[in-house]
Structure 1
Amino acid sequence: MTIESVERIGVVGAGTMGNGIAQVCALNGYEVVMRDIETEFVENGLEAIDDSLERFVSKNRLSEEEAESAKERITGTTDLDDLDDCDLVIEAAVEKMDIKQEIFADLEAITDEDVILATNTSTLSITTIASATDREDRVIGLHFMNPVPIMEGVEVVVGEKTGEETVETAHALAEDLGKTTWESDDKPGFVTNRILMPWINEGIRAYDEGVASKEDVDRGMELGTNVPMGPLTLADHIGLDICLDASETLYEELGDRYKPAYLLKRKVDAGDLGKKTGRGFYEYE
């Protein structure tokens, strides 16, 4: 399969990443079927897309007509079978290996054999996910950055048996969505999270151990290293539960240097997950 044959894209998962991927695909002319397991999740995802498009219109980054056209290209569903005529599918479900493998096995059963199955996983093995299928050459990682409509990068992650044509199509699709790609081998955390998660955890430890206030930890990194967000603010935007899942996966694979900060676990246990719950290290409207 080449990029020229991709017209209809399936997205599994209507959460923050899934609805962002669906929005970007639709804005770039693709028909999109976005699926989640509950009607409420699908509706929340569609509402998030509407809100995001409205913000783009209000900032004159999109016209009303472009926003409406994008909305019309997106269909929400709770039925995985509705993805049966998609030319490519991107999975953006929770970071649990058993769930992803089940989804990929189901997708293989309902899609044509030449359809590429991509995963947005940020830490889990592409090779292991692909092993749940008989088309391992057509399974690849397409790791979008959050927030998807704004961030320019996509990490293309190549599994042990991913075919060269699949790799080329993945790069071409991301570039057609207006993104810039880089490529990673299927090693724990890939490029981004292998480096990012220790940085976030060390920022949390510095705050928890009284090195500086949370504001000064963030301000020091922003002004001292020229990053747009400090580690605590970034963790809130990513979602503290997602940071914890990623850190625990890396800790299991790579050892003590990736052990999650205690305060990160405590915040997740308390249900303070960051911007999406209104409270993380900071409070949000």
Structure 2
Amino acid sequence: MLSYRHGYHAGNHADVLKHLCQLILLEKLAQKDKPFVYIDTHAGAGLYDLQSEQAQKTAEYEQGIDRLMQLQSANPHICRYQALVGEYHQQHRYPGSPELAFRLCREHDSLQLMEWHNQEVLNLKANFKDRRNVHIHHRNGFEGLVALCPPKPARGMVLIDPSYELPQDYVEVVESVKAAQKRWAGGTFAIWYPMLAKARDKSQTMLDGLSQLPVEQVLNIQLWVGAQPDDFGMYGSGMVIINPPWQFDEQVESLLQVLPTSLSDSPDAGARCQWLRNTQG
């Protein structure tokens, strides 16, 4: 939806979950010397000012990155995330998924960033001006994903993070992933989605569609910071990972033991990690 601006939500609990998963996936790819590609279908501005009018209006980062930065944890993924985000946090900024990817990619890796919002793509271009191996596309991310597959190099991951302001987004996620996966069977697909109030949550149909794709593994990760409301609001979020790397599920499980109580004081906060499809046993 062309009205969505992520600046209102930057650094919230959903970003924490999404970017921790992204960090683990990119570090897994970087363990081999071979180059890889990172594709972001809904890149946004890439970098956010937490003192901006947008961020201050909602202050969602207070229950997200602000709380996590206060956490003393031995979890290696949380420690690396804190170190990476910390330098931005000290300047009251938060790095979006493109910025994190750029920091985690190497000189021979490449980034393909897509954004359809007219102003956000200008902000993205300004934030990534003169950066190496970064390609920015002003286009619909669902259509662009299919068009870019199979990418070169053929190793890599895609992050799909639409606004879900339109019910059609849930349908387009499944359709675009199905078409892209046919062209790029070896790619890892990471799909973020909101967990909404009972009257508005449309994620189950999407999850059912993703679980029926002709792939070996589909992992569903969920984190919620309170009870599900009846009528309005986002109480949590999820990440679906198609073709997750080896031991990724175990690493995420270690995160989920820490995150609910770190990001929320609610007794209803919680998390789960479950296979929607797993033909490997």
Which has the larger Rg? 1
Which TM bucket (shorter chain)?
Answer: 0.3 to 0.5
TM-score (norm. length: structure 1): 0.32
Higher relative contact order (CA 8 A, sep 6+): 2
